[in-house]
Structure 1
Amino acid sequence: MWPHNYTPLADSLALSSLVAALPIFVLLVMIGILRKPAWMAALSGLSGALIVALFVYQMPAGTVASAVTYGACFGLFPIGWIVYWAIVLYRITVETGNFEIIKDSIGGLTEDRRLQAMLIAFALGAFIEGAAGFGTPVAVAAAMLTGLGFSPFYAAAICLLANTAPVAFGSIGIPVVTLAGITGLPMNELSAWVGRICAPVSVFVPAYLVMVMGGFRALKGVIPAAALCGVAFAGT
């Protein structure tokens, strides 16, 4: 078995960590700055990871190949499988007109943009995150908010912010399952501690979301709703 050396560069954890993060930087630069397609960015990030693994961490080629194969399989099943069917379900609701019904039903509850953001970006987004995850709740909730009059960029930003707390249990708990598989720690204990960490954060996310939208003045009028929304999520 190959022993993993966590400090291959001058016995420095900071320097080694910085080099290990290079594939992530490559991915972000390709997507965010160079505006390259996702598949090109992914292949560039993979190439960077291969170089770092082989020449910096001295990982054997066979182990590298096994890790790449395992990662690709895990990306397809269950991640790709869950996302695929989430998109299929979304397209079905759009083609049948039910998406507009859902959007109008939720939007018809109130014309207050602050409450719409909490209902759709936070509450509905959290539900979709638990069922699908991997960006699906942001795409669906942002589309709903855009249909209600929010600008697309603004709607996406709000949904990303609202999705901070629910993401820990996204895709039927895939992040926790993955963490348990990698660390070998008991899944039940990990789930419990993730819940304890996320619950206090969840209480404040709706209020913070409204403050980002319009400052403390905007929050003053919906404090009870924001508190109820946060406590309801944290308690469940």
Structure 2
Amino acid sequence: MYTQNLNPTGSLTLSALLASLPLLALLVALGVFKWRAHWAGTAALLISIAIAMGVYHMPLGETLNSGVFGAALSVLAVLWITFNAIWIYNLTVKSGHFAVLRRSFAAISDDRRIQSIVIAFSFGALLESLAGGGSPIAICAVMLIAIDFSPLKAATVALVANTAPVAFGGLGNPITIMGQVTDLPAADFGAMAGRQVSLLAIFVPFVLVGIVDGWKGVREVWPAALTCGLSFGIAQFVFSNFVNYKLCDIFGALVSAIAVILLNKVWQPKQVRVQAPKVIAGGAGEDPAFTRRVGAPGGDSRRDVLLAFAPYAVVVVLFSLAQLPGISDALNAPTITFNWPGLHVLSQAGKPVSVAYKLNWLAATGTLLFISGVITAIVLRLKPAVAARTYIETLRQFGWAILTILLVFALSYIMNLSGQISTLGLWLAQAGVFFAFLSPVVGWFGVAVTGTDAGSNALFAKLQVTAAEQLHANPILFGAANTSGGVMAKMISPQNLAIGTAAVGEVGAEGLLFRRVFGWSAVFLLAMCVLVFLQSTPVLGWMRVGG
């Protein structure tokens, strides 16, 4: 039985400095030395093991078992989701319908800057709302390549776009977990987060256009960027505050895409940026992702277009049905929950730390995506052998990215169960009233390590609420800040970098990709810190939920 000591050195500042070393090593290895993600993850993991054992006095067996527990959690939480999401995409390529889908998006506008915000932001938000787990990054990045983006630029755009929707991803899973961990109303956290990230959503399309074509491009297509961001933000705010936070990303995605389509009927940019489609890295002119193999040469029929969108319609319908009470109960019935063998951890207060492993193999997001893939193969009339062979090719596509994800989850749970993460949170909480400014930073660190907003909320939700109570502040504000700050780190988390590079055929370029997105992560985080701080004061106190 290991009991956490959150200040093992006797100096909280020194303890926090030592606890931060694995995270600093990870960021420096990726950003400064441009290491591959699996090597950076390995170095950070070894440092976290050394800190856990040498500073926190966690026994070797408990330390290593914590890492195995974290790696095991990543299988259902990330890998199973991502494999199946990319498999669905690869099935559309095999059938020739991805080329139809690409042409359908191109029909929205001749300008690839406008296409990019519809694909990466609106369509990506729809994927995030249903599946999450890196699937929007992977799918949208490949779709961007199809409209003439270089692999790394496509991955950059997809990563930066995957911000505002993340707070409500997976049908509001981060918010739901926040409510479960804190025993406070999840709907209140959803409403407060909606009053934060909906403002962020307005600016993200402008940044995407800037990445694609510089600030000249922003000046040329700002009406489309404003329409997309503003319509998404309004829909996200309305649904999170007045309808249901679980639905706000779905409707935000649909509303923003429709708004841009309608705008394009009455306005087009004076200078159109469009070029002939390029091939995927390592591909050829006959790459099936681009070649017309479905539909007549004169144009795609309505049936062709419907079939091209059918896989995503299947995902929407299947995930919507899975939320119905009767069906949800049936899917969760075979779920097995057990404490991880050999792992016994007590908090500093003497309470058991949860080490439960929830094997919800039937209700898992990845399983629903797998079923969606099977249905997709049937709808697209692909032979079972072709679908199976495509799945094996999908697994091979990820390569070292699989190891990266396992390593980073192992790192996060060693840091969590040894007490290193909580030490950092306690140290930041010493800032007093200024903690409102730092509150989003806590969530940012959580997502940087776990790769998911839900994981960050599971780690830090209770800490945020406890800090608020100690400071006599609003716990809903601090809890929501953890969620809203966390979304800024999605683009720099090693597992999402690994997913992005694997999807575009650039495995090993995670360090370079990190350098391209880190600045935007920092800018967005700073803006969120200022917003939350002002919301904690009379200046924007009227925006708070619960006073």
Whether 1:105 aligns to 2:104 is: yes
Show the counterpart of 2:196: 197
Rounded Cα–Cα distance in structure 2 between residues aligned with 1:165 and 1:43? 30
Note closer, same or farther for the CA distance 1:184–1:41 as it changes in structure 2 (3 Å cut): farther
The range that moved more, 157-166 or 186-195, is: 186-195
Query: Shift of residue 28 of structure 1?
Result: 4.6
Show the counterpart of 1:231: 230
Show the counterpart of 2:133: 134
Secondary structure of 1:120's aligned partner: helix
Secondary structure of 2:71's aligned partner: helix
User: Which residue identity is paired with 2:149?
Assistant: F
Q: Deviations over 1:183-212 (max 9, x none)?
A: 555433333332222111111111232234
Contact 1:130–1:173, Cα closer than 8 Å, also in 2? yes
Note closer, same or farther for the CA distance 1:85–1:201 as it changes in structure 2 (3 Å cut): same
Note closer, same or farther for the CA distance 1:60–1:197 as it changes in structure 2 (3 Å cut): farther
Rounded Cα–Cα distance in structure 2 between residues aligned with 1:186 and 1:4? 29
Q: CA RMSD in A?
A: 2.9
Query: Shift of residue 126 of structure 1?
Result: 1.5
Q: Deviations over 1:45-67 (max 9, x none)?
A: 33332222222223355654563
Note closer, same or farther for the CA distance 1:220–1:36 as it changes in structure 2 (3 Å cut): closer
Contact 1:82–1:171, Cα closer than 8 Å, also in 2? no
Show the counterpart of 1:210: 209
Taking structure 1 as the reference length, what is the TM-score of the superposition? Answer: 0.81
Secondary structure of 2:70's aligned partner: helix
Contact 2:81–2:135, Cα closer than 8 Å, also in 1? no
Whether 1:74 aligns to 2:73 is: yes
Rounded Cα–Cα distance in structure 2 between residues aligned with 1:91 and 1:108? 22
Secondary structure of 2:57's aligned partner: coil
Taking structure 2 as the reference length, what is the TM-score of the superposition? Answer: 0.38
Rounded Cα–Cα distance in structure 2 between residues aligned with 1:58 and 1:131? 41
User: Which residue identity is paired with 2:73?
Assistant: F
Contact 2:86–2:138, Cα closer than 8 Å, also in 1? no
Rounded Cα–Cα distance in structure 2 between residues aligned with 1:178 and 1:46? 26
User: Which residue identity is paired with 1:130?
Assistant: S
User: Which residue identity is paired with 2:160?
Assistant: L
Secondary structure of 1:222's aligned partner: helix
Note closer, same or farther for the CA distance 1:165–1:72 as it changes in structure 2 (3 Å cut): same
1:117-156 matched pairs, under 5 angstroms = 117-156=116-155
The range that moved more, 17-26 or 177-186, is: 177-186
Secondary structure of 2:108's aligned partner: coil
Show the counterpart of 2:46: 47
Rounded Cα–Cα distance in structure 1 between residues aligned with 2:198 and 2:46? 38
Whether 1:8 aligns to 2:15 is: no
Rounded Cα–Cα distance in structure 1 between residues aligned with 2:212 and 2:42? 37
User: Which residue identity is paired with 1:168?
Assistant: A
Contact 1:180–1:186, Cα closer than 8 Å, also in 2? yes
Secondary structure of 2:132's aligned partner: coil
Whether 1:166 aligns to 2:165 is: yes
Contact 2:18–2:51, Cα closer than 8 Å, also in 1? yes
Query: Shift of residue 24 of structure 1?
Result: 3.0
User: Which residue identity is paired with 1:145?
Assistant: L
Identity %: 37
Contact 1:125–1:138, Cα closer than 8 Å, also in 2? yes
Query: Shift of residue 2 of structure 1?
Result: 5.4
Note closer, same or farther for the CA distance 1:165–1:80 as it changes in structure 2 (3 Å cut): same
User: Which residue identity is paired with 2:232?
Assistant: F
Contact 1:180–1:190, Cα closer than 8 Å, also in 2? yes
Rounded Cα–Cα distance in structure 2 between residues aligned with 1:229 and 1:34? 34
Note closer, same or farther for the CA distance 1:126–1:91 as it changes in structure 2 (3 Å cut): same
Query: Shift of residue 135 of structure 1?
Result: 2.8
Query: Shift of residue 106 of structure 1?
Result: 0.3
Show the counterpart of 2:416: none
> Unaligned stretches of 5+ in structure 1?
none
Q: Deviations over 1:143-191 (max 9, x none)?
A: 1121111222222222222222122233444444555555555433333
Q: Deviations over 1:6-57 (max 9, x none)?
A: 33345133x433322333344455666364463x554443333222222222
Secondary structure of 1:108's aligned partner: helix
Contact 2:86–2:139, Cα closer than 8 Å, also in 1? no
- Which protein has the larger Cα radius of gyration, Structure 1 or Structure 2? 2
Rounded Cα–Cα distance in structure 2 between residues aligned with 1:138 and 1:78? 16
User: Which residue identity is paired with 2:125?
Assistant: A
User: Which residue identity is paired with 1:6?
Assistant: L
Show the counterpart of 1:23: 22
Show the counterpart of 2:420: none
Rounded Cα–Cα distance in structure 1 between residues aligned with 2:3 and 2:84? 39
Contact 1:161–1:209, Cα closer than 8 Å, also in 2? yes
Rounded Cα–Cα distance in structure 2 between residues aligned with 1:8 and 1:167? 35
* Count of residue pairs the alignment pairs up: 234
Contact 2:129–2:171, Cα closer than 8 Å, also in 1? yes
User: Which residue identity is paired with 1:86?
Assistant: A
Rounded Cα–Cα distance in structure 1 between residues aligned with 2:64 and 2:184? 26
Note closer, same or farther for the CA distance 1:192–1:51 as it changes in structure 2 (3 Å cut): farther
Note closer, same or farther for the CA distance 1:183–1:81 as it changes in structure 2 (3 Å cut): farther
